[in-house]
Amino acid sequence: MKAVIFDLDGVICFTDKYHYQAWKALADRLGIYFDEQINNRLRGVSRMASLDIILERSEKEYSQEEKDAFAAEKNALYVELLQQMSPADLSDEVKSTLDELRAAGYLLAIGSSSKNTKLILSRLGLGDFFDAISDGTNITHSKPHPEVFLMAADMLHLPPAECLVVEDAKAGIEAASAGGFKSAGIGEASEHPDCTYPIAHFAYLKTILV
Ligand code: BG6
Ligand code: MG
């Protein structure tokens, strides 16, 4: 292994609660039932695919134009909520593990479906930290398609076999395995049969890599 490609939401930081609040506000306005369990299904899934999951409970059919407006409405609120994030939201465990992996000589990259990746990294004080950032702005297929990780490996000039993907979502483990990457899975991702290294904590990455 020469590099580690990290998912962002649920691995480096915890934005679930903000996604939930913003989707919940939209769902409430539209009179659609939405709860934390449905929110769990949105992990690793693109913004538009997330909206489609929420609209499964809607009695009304919406046009593409209306859906685009709903996604923009949710994102505006989400971005507003992200303004609360600061370097204090980066845990000591994540920061010290990233520093140790860097000191051990690994290239470090992000592979996230989020179009807000750069904003989130800058809120966390990690704006200039990673060697490559592949995110929702440079892909046409979201996880479980491997594109986001393949682009990250490409940016690092490395083949997938030399990059470990770190994920919290099952869709992310599927994306890694479809792209020929080994993976470390945290939380529900650790239960996926394709997960190479199930880990209970982010810091356990050191037991695999250092
Ligand atoms: C992923 C999250 O990282 O990004 C998903 O796990 C989210 O829940 C997706 O839907 C897209 O995020 P954004 O910021 O582009 O709306
Ligand atoms: Mg995630």
| The 3-state secondary structure of the chain, one letter per residue | CCEEEECCECCCECCHHHHHHHHHHHHHHHCCCCCHHHHHCCCCCCHHHHHHHHHCCCCCCCCHHHHHHHHHHHHHHHHHHHCCCCHHHCCHHHHHHHHHHHHCCCEEEEECCCCCHHHHHHHCCCCCCCCEEECCCCCCCCCCCCHHHHHHHHHCCCCHHHEEEEECCHHHHHHHHHHCCEEEEEHHHHHCCCCCEEECCHHHHHHHHC
Whether the pLDDT of residue 54 is over 90: the answer is yes
Which pLDDT tens digit goes with each residue over 102-149?
Answer: 999 999 999 999 999 999 999 999 999 999 999 999 999 999 999 999
**Closest approach atom of ligand 1 to CA 9:** 3
pLDDT category, 13, cuts 50, 70, 90? very high
Whether residue 113 has its Cβ less than 6 Å from ligand 1? yes
Residue 35 known to be catalytic: no
Q: Which residues pair with 6 in a beta bridge?
A: 110, 166
Indicate the pairing of strand 163-167 with strand 132-134.
unpaired
Section 148-166 average pLDDT: 98
Whether residue 22 has its Cβ less than 6 Å from ligand 1? no
pLDDT of res. 90: 97
Name the residue of 18, 37, 47 to mutate for ligand 1: max ligand atoms within 8 A of Cβ: 47
pLDDT of res. 111: 98
Domains along the chain with CATH numbers: 3-13+87-209 (3.40.50.1000), 16-82 (1.10.150.240)
Assigned token pair, 199: 């880990």
Indicate the pairing of strand 3-6 with strand 163-167.
parallel
pLDDT category, 100, cuts 50, 70, 90? very high
pLDDT of res. 172: 97
What percentage of the chain has pLDDT greater than the value 70?
100
Q: Enumerate residues with CB within 5 Å of ligand 2 (an ion).
A: 7, 9-10, 44, 168-169
pLDDT of res. 156: 98
Contact 13, 88 (CB under 8 A): no
Residue 9 known to be catalytic: yes
Assigned token pair, 109: 């990259």
Which pLDDT tens digit goes with each residue over 188-207?
Answer: 999 999 999 999 999 999 99
Among 9, 128, 135, 194, the one annotated catalytic: 9
